[in-house]
Amino acid sequence: MKTKYVHGMVALALLAGLNGCKPKNAGSVVSGDAAAKVYVAPGKYDEYYNFVSGGFSGQLSVYGLPSGRLLRVIPVFSVDPEKGWGYSEETKPMLNTSHGQVPWDDLHHVSMSQTNGEIDGRWVFVNGNNTPRVARVDLKTFRTAEILELPNSGGNHSSPFITENSEYIVAGTRFSVPPDDKSGDVPINTYKENFKGTISFISVDKDKGNMDVAFQLQGPGVNFDLSHAGKGKSAGWFFFSTYNTEQANTLLEVNASKRDKDFIMAVNWKMAEKLIKEGKGRKQAVKYASNRFDEKTHTATSTIKNQVTVLDIRDYPGLVYMIPCPKSPHGCDVDPTGEYIVGSGKLAALIPVFSFDKIQKAIANKSFDGEYEGIPVIKYEAALYGEVKKPGLGPLHTEFDDKGNAYTSMFVSSEVVKWNVKDLKVLDRVPTYYSVGHLMIPGGDSRKPTGKYMVAYNKITKDRYLPTGPELSQSAQLYDISGDKMQLILDYPTIGEPHYAQAVSADVIKANSVKFFRIEENNHPYVAKGESNAKVFREGNKVHVNMTLMRSHLTPDNIEGIRVGDEVYFHTTNLEQDWDVPHGFAIKGALNAELLVMPGETTTLKWIPTKAGMYPMYCTDFCSALHQEMSGYVRVSPA
């Protein structure tokens, strides 16, 4: 979420005086042995990979923990000139949508693939909040392998949360919208009649990870906020927080905050899956892009799909239930046992903890408190395990450790509060600098949390770093949680606005990391597998340059016969067969930035010269002592 909105809401909720309050002793509460705890000696590796949302940068960054060292920025939804992402012909289709190429998005949440409720280190899924999309990053290559657009959605925020064997990731729409097969050209004040809330269930192929929209649930025009899958005993269920159950369409900060309680929506996804298998649901015409990177050719293809199966949740009794939750719920987290579901009302001064067993009993006994839009509402007390009293202000998100404790971020009072899941007693609290959004414990939303570190991802930095003009980096803060008291041990800036993040032991990933691609397996249609295969050839006004890159020359390096207006394709193959020897490629005046080509890979830069003249081209990545010599010329003649 964006800070200013929360601030606005909070002000309206008469909490104005507490808005943005600063914890005392900023900067002086660092643990005495902090340096030793975060110091990773030169040449030594970090213990954890931490995958951090880049917010409105549209990218995913990778940090080492506990050092806080930035290891990599993985381009996902946004073009990235450093890697030619979205500029090379091979990657352009990844950013395709039903609206055309959308070269940016707002990335909020990170879900690592799981097996038996434990992070298995195969893929990271992330969401695009703006033009509804989910992406899959392959952790063998640390590259985005797939981007899937979502129909019937607006603002894909409640996403991408995963089931414990990665069967599905879900994506709930933040903005209810008229379904795609209806005209969206309707008066906005017909919201209640025309706008629908939609949740996509996206299937994930067991072996390849390929995603598709398996089915969608459609219902009243509420806004879905975060969600989490059940675990263990609750594994067949999903829990979504909702807000704007008022179904307001204007001045939401007032009109969507009227009700004392909104809902957590409990979805029996096993039942939905069964209904779909039985052929239930309605086929709806839509258009959405499915973009995949082909592992053989290293080229993305974009396919526009045109149908989804929709279950109207009101047509299937038993599929969903509403659980009242105070007030403007945001986070919705499930503890490692799967029994406790933690709600977090942005405007609430307590944390409700619901019991899965009690929810099941309430359903069996019909302990309902009427209906909401045809959906049974379970009585608050019938579902409630208990409340954490006076935890702080503005609870947002909760993670768990391996000792039965929960940690909840408090946006308004700018702190993290540790409490015991069984007795709901607050055990400890630490200030954050400032206004924490998500927090993260490695494995902290899985069945196997760890208990060593917690990271707070903060919206505001203020006085934490040297000033850099009006805009300051957001920041992460690392806490040692191994003892009774949480201790701040490190601050580090982040790329873009961090929302959620996940971390996993480096051992789960590092052994599988690809070092380079085998040139003999390169199936790119324009590969040159050796310098003797390099060539320039013309097809009408298209000119193909099958070029090789090898320390320290381009082949060919003198190109003539190009005319103004030709479409020139530089298909550059990096012939190196060694780890960490990329070459780059750029040419004067090219609109498509540059390329960064991995060993064994072929990547294409398209260039349409507009003026006759001499155009230098060169390798952009310092690759050897003779890197400056890795260059050449293209002569362009009048058309």
Give the interface with ligand CUA as residue ranges (CB under 6 A): 583, 619, 621-623, 627, 630
The phi, psi pair for 56, rounded to 5°, reads: -75, 5
Chain residues 379-398 in contact with ligand CUK, contact rule CB under 6 A:
396-397
- Is 133 a binding residue for ligand CUK by CB under 6 A? The answer is no
Nearest to 96 by CA among 143, 61, 59, 131: 131
- The option from ligand CUA, ligand CUK, none interacting with 509 (CB < 5 to 8 A, set by class) reads none
460 part of the interface to ligand CUK, by CB under 6 A: no
**What does 196 bind: ligand CUK, ligand CUA, none (CB cut-off 5 to 8 Å by kind)?**
none
- Give dist(CA 154, CA 157) in Å, integer: 9
Please state the φ and ψ torsions of residue 633, each to the nearest 5 degrees. Answer: -130, 145
Binding at 330: pick from ligand CUK, ligand CUA, none (beta carbon under 5-8 Å per type): ligand CUK
444 is a contact residue toward ligand CUK (CB under 6 A): no
CA atoms within 13 A of residue 437's CA, in its CB half-sphere: 26
The C-alpha atoms of residue 442 and residue 609 are separated, in whole angstroms, by: 50
1 binding partner (options ligand CUA, ligand CUK, none; Cβ < 5 to 8 Å by kind) = ligand CUK
If one asks whether residue 341 binds ligand CUK (CB under 6 A), the answer comes out as no
The yes or no reply on residue 7 touching ligand CUK (CB under 6 A) is no
**Whole-number minimum distance, CB 519 to ligand CUA, in Å?**
16
According to CB under 6 A, which residues from 471 to 530 bind ligand CUK? Answer: 499-500
Nearer residue to ligand CUK within complex by CB, 53 or 546? 53
Token look-up 């040159």 returns 528
The nearer residue to ligand CUK, 256 or 534, going by C-beta atoms, is: 256
Q: For ligand CUK, which residue has the nearest CB?
A: 437
Cα 140 to Cα 535: distance, rounded to the nearest angstrom = 32
Element (H, E) at 302: strand 299-312
Q: Decide whether 397 or 524 has the Cβ nearer to ligand CUK.
A: 397
Nearer Cβ to ligand CUA (164/621): 621
Contact 609, 615 (CB under 8 A): yes
CB 334 within 8 A of CB 266: no
- Is the Cβ of residue 131 or residue 546 nearer to ligand CUA in the bound state? 546
226 touches which of ligand CUK, ligand CUA, none (CB within 5 to 8 A by kind)?
Answer: ligand CUK
218 in Cβ contact with 197 (< 8 Å): yes
Instruction: Verify binding: residue 437, ligand CUK, rule CB under 6 A.
Output: yes
CB of residue 223 vs ligand CUK: minimum separation in angstroms?
A: 12
Binding to ligand CUK (CB under 6 A) within 272-291 occurs at none
Which residue carries 């929360």 as its tokens? 6
Residue with tokens 């434990």: 118
Strand partners, 491: 477
Which ranges of 233-332 would DSSP assign to H, the alpha helix? 252-255, 269-277
Per CB under 6 A, 174 contacts ligand CUK: no
Residue with tokens 């920041």: 475
* Cα 23 to Cα 489: distance, rounded to the nearest angstrom: 17
Q: Which does 500 bind (CB under 5 to 8 A by kind): ligand CUK, ligand CUA, none?
A: ligand CUK
Closest by alpha carbon to 210, among 100, 294, 109?
294
Helix and strand numbers, DSSP H then E, in the chain? 8, 44
> What's the closest the beta carbon of residue 583 comes to ligand CUA, in angstroms?
4
Shortest separation between residue 108's beta carbon and ligand CUK, angstroms: 4
List of residues contacting ligand CUK (CB under 6 A): 1, 108-109, 157, 226, 330, 396-397, 437-438, 499-500
